[in-house]
Amino acid sequence: MARVGIGAPVRRVEDARFLRGVGRFVDDIAAPGAAHLHVLRSPHAAARLLALDAAAARAMPGVLLVLTAADLDIPGRLRCVTPRHRRDGSPLVQPDWRVLPSDMVRFVGDAVAAVVAETPAQAQDAAERIRMDYEPLPCVTDLAEAVTPGAPAVWPDLAPDNECFHFRLGDAGAVDAGFARAAQVIALDYRISRVSANPMEPRNALATHDPVEDRYTLWTGTQLPHVMRNEIAEYALGVPSNRLRVVSPDVGGGFGMKESPFPEHVLCLLAAKRLGRPVRWTATRTESFLGDSHARDNLSTAELAVAADGTFLAMRVRTLANLGAYLAWQGPVSSTNNVGGLAGVYRTPAICTEVTGLFTHTQPTAPYRGAGRPEAIHAMERLVDLAAERLGMDRVEIRRRNLIRPEEMPFRTGLDYTYDSGDFPRALDLALEAADWAGFAARRAESEARGMLRGIGLAMAIESAGGPHRKPLEEGAEIRFDSGGSATLLVGSHNHGQGHETVFRQIIATRLGLEPGRVRILFGDTDVVAHGRGTIGSRSMMACGAALVGAAEKVVARGKQIAAHLLEAAEADIEFADGMFRVAGTDRSIGIESVARQSYVPGALPDGAELGLGAALVTRPGDATFPNGCHIAEVEVDPDTGETRLLAYTVVDDVGTVINPLLVKGQVQGGVAQGFGQVFGEAILYGDGQLLTASFQDYAMPRAADLSDIVVKSNPVPTATNSLGVKGAGEAGTVGALPALVSAVMDALRDFGVAHLDMPLTPERVWRAKLEGSKGLDVYVQPALGGGA
């Protein structure tokens, strides 16, 4: 099975349907007689709802139902499950997020009513006839403004600072001691811009209701079907979880945004029950910008204490995190759960951080590819570049001097994490060689001869994957053999582009010796799969893959019992390898598929024996994993326009055991592309509370032509925390891309006194920085929070 098993570069089996256009997405599911839902959204960032008159809308042609807050007979709540605390130790403030508000709107795009009609156009036309009477109020959308005296309060009880929670981690005393003995203190005030996930398939819903069972079904593109079922049933509909079935078929991208329940899910379900017919909703692209969760949006001050020889002594970071107007299902996760990544791959002995979560009149923020890890690595790697500049040291040398060495593993960092494995110096060496770092001076000279500015950037990246650290969540998997000898895998994780249907077959090929064509995989249906946590946080291989390995071991143990009876041997003498059960020391054997078939034959097994072959397992890994690597980016900047062109990108990654090198490479390249988008163009912007970037004319998504070849090399160091030895791969590309790309542009501008620029590095921003730097002005982010942490 070497050609199809673990480690083989098997092409994705999913592509057979996707490339032919026969994937099964929510919009492909037939629903005869389906009505269409349209959501009326607030045009104000903050306003009181004084009156709502839907009479004209209800009289419009084709209209079947109009829903307002007054029409809801369900709890209608969406909740946050991430526990955090305020400064006094009390739980974080969790506002009451209703699917339709009754008194106030708190961001542009807040749902205020829903219309269901025979066609989408009729529903939209009718929604425009709903008369809304608003009293506009002052609003605040910017983090820095949200904490200023007299800033508008998003929630009245939180005046004057809009603070939801305050999170601290690390030994502040040890950090102060490190700073006291530092030869240099490097300080950086920086902003991580707000972005939108923008998956190819927008959010959607198709809802039905069975009046006989009084049971709902929701088809929707989600990363977490079982979580979605429980949250919507228990807290929004107010029914037991077994009264709601959630089906998530093929999904055109998720990136973290599709992990949360949204008001439209609940409204479709309620409308389906009221009307007794299916109800559909699919967001338009502008509606996605207005209604999807956003991400990132942090404002930070970071400081690094450095000895005269470049040794890192201590680090501290203080961050304001924009939560939006409400708390998403895991809203605080991105800003707090992965702050341990601030340690990077270095031996910095003491680190502390504070994160203050703030409400603003904007959409809720939620995890997005990386979920705090890119932000953490960006902080450390930018500080390291600036420290090298301050000390007059080579950027590579200062990193090499501080890298954690493989013989020091396991290594307890200065902030929360304990790395179990990794060879960081080797990753650096491999990347420098693959990117021809030594030959960069000649390439820079060639660019200068053409009047261009060339820069090279370096970032050492590490992340916590599959967490939370020390308490990773469980996952379920089941293997069922049928009476024909074929196997069906039922897995709790969800495949929405990662290639699970391919790699899970590879695991089964290795562990059970089954040809991939004899294996079927089912996922994404809460009526079919007993339990699942879903796919977030680069957890699928370590959590679901490990559960699958455990279930396979149970199958082998059960198979040995059956094989011993069929081969008339003692169970202790039965060996299993490559799909065959053998009697040790003999040529007597039987294949696992034959064992499966015989397990269903009446009389083939002893009287009273359990029939059938299969096993289920719900388990969790021993710990989170720490995928790591080195990213090197090379760019060219046009000094006359500020336009930046990516010339080369190299990644050396340690994702532990590589199940499928083709898919790992694709995951890393995709992550780098998303990081590139944030660095060079993507940014959600507001003006007077209004969203200014509500289309792709204003929100600059990257295109294929913007990217260079992305070379991906492997530096695998398997982990012992799970049975496969795997580390997460899905977010690794994004984690290192942000600092590597920014570093490259700063290197291109180094002769103009430009120390740092915040994302996005648009042509105008780069051009202005070069212009001001050439005039002898320091180009640097002005202090955002004032002083140190």
Give residue-wise pLDDT tens across range 436-490. Answer: 999 999 999 999 999 999 999 999 999 999 877 777 889 999 999 999 999 999 9
The owner of tokens 């997020």 is: 97
Task: List pLDDT tens digits, range 246-282.
Answer: 999 999 999 999 999 999 999 999 999 999 999 999 9
CA atoms within 13 Å, Cβ hemisphere of 275: 26
Residue 789 has what pLDDT?
29
Any idea what the Cα angle at residue 159 is, between residues 333 and 376, rounded to 5°? 25
Q: In this predicted structure, what is the pLDDT of residue 1?
A: 58
How does residue 768 score in pLDDT terms, banded at 50, 70 and 90? very high
- In this predicted structure, the answer to whether residue 781 has a pLDDT above a threshold of 80 is no
Please tell me the predicted confidence (pLDDT) of residue 779.
55
Mean pLDDT of 225-254: 96
Grade residue 240 by pLDDT with cuts at 50, 70 and 90: very high
Nearest residue to 523 (alpha-carbon basis) of 544, 539, 543: 544
pLDDT at 777: 54
Detail the DSSP E strand segments found in 71-162: 77-78, 97-98, 104-105, 111-117, 131-136
At residue 766, the pLDDT reads: 96
Q: Is 15-21+473-619's fold the same as 294-468+623-774's?
A: yes
Q: How far apart are CA 405 and CA 410, in angstroms?
A: 10
294-468+623-774 adopts what CATH topology? Aldehyde Oxidoreductase; domain 4 (3.30.365)
Instruction: With beta carbons less than 8 A apart as the criterion, state whether 362 and 325 touch.
Output: yes
| Residue 95 pLDDT exceeds 70 | yes
H/E run at residue 456: strand 453-462
Note the pLDDT tens digit of each residue in 114-141: 999 999 999 999 999 999 999 999 999 9
* pLDDT at residue number 787: 31
Fold of 15-21+473-619: Aldehyde Oxidoreductase; domain 4 (3.30.365)
pLDDT in the model for residue 366: 96
Query: Over 70: is that where the pLDDT of 213 sits?
Result: yes
Measured between alpha carbons, how far apart are the two ends of the chain, in Å? 55
Report d(CA 72, CA 65) in Å as an integer: 12
Q: What is the tens place of the pLDDT at every residue in 295-328?
A: 999 999 999 999 999 999 999 999 999 999 999 9
* Mean pLDDT, rounded, of the chain: 94
Q: What are phi and psi of 291, to 5 degrees?
A: -115, -20
DSSP output for 363-411: PPB---TTTTHHHHHHHHHHHHHHHHHHHT--HHHHHHHHBPPGGG-SE
In whole angstroms, how far apart are CA 38 and each of 57, 157, 757?
Answer: 12, 33, 41
Give the confidence band of 520 by pLDDT, cuts at 50, 70, 90: very high
Q: How confident is the model at residue 775 (pLDDT cuts 50, 70, 90)?
A: low
Rounded CA gap, 712 and 434, in Å? 9
Please count the CA atoms within 13 angstroms of the CA of 660 that sit on its side-chain side: 27
Reply yes or no on domain 33-137+207-256 having CATH 3.90.1170.50: yes
> What is the percent of the chain with per-residue pLDDT over 90, rounded to a whole number?
92
Residue-level pLDDT at 778: 54
Evaluate whether 500 touches 491 at the Cβ level (below 8 Å): yes
Instruction: Please list, in sequence order, all residues whose beta carbon lies within 8 angstroms of the beta carbon of residue 300, skipping any fewer than 6 positions away.
Output: 189, 190, 191, 192, 317, 318, 319, 320, 375, 379, 784, 785
CA distances to 295, 338, 402, 617, 664 from 538, rounded to whole Å, are 17, 13, 27, 20, 12
The confidence score (pLDDT) of residue 252 equals 94
Q: What are the residue boundaries of the structural domains of the chain, listed by start?
A: 15-21+473-619, 33-137+207-256, 294-468+623-774
Chain segment 486-512, per-residue pLDDT in tens: 999 999 999 998 999 999 999 999 999
Q: Is 428 exposed, middle or buried (0-12, 13-18, 19+ CB in 10 A)?
A: buried
Token representation of residue 152 = 């508008």
Tens digits of per-residue pLDDT, 547-590? 999 999 999 999 999 999 999 999 999 999 999 999 999 999 99
Question: What is the arithmetic mean of pLDDT over 677-697?
Answer: 96
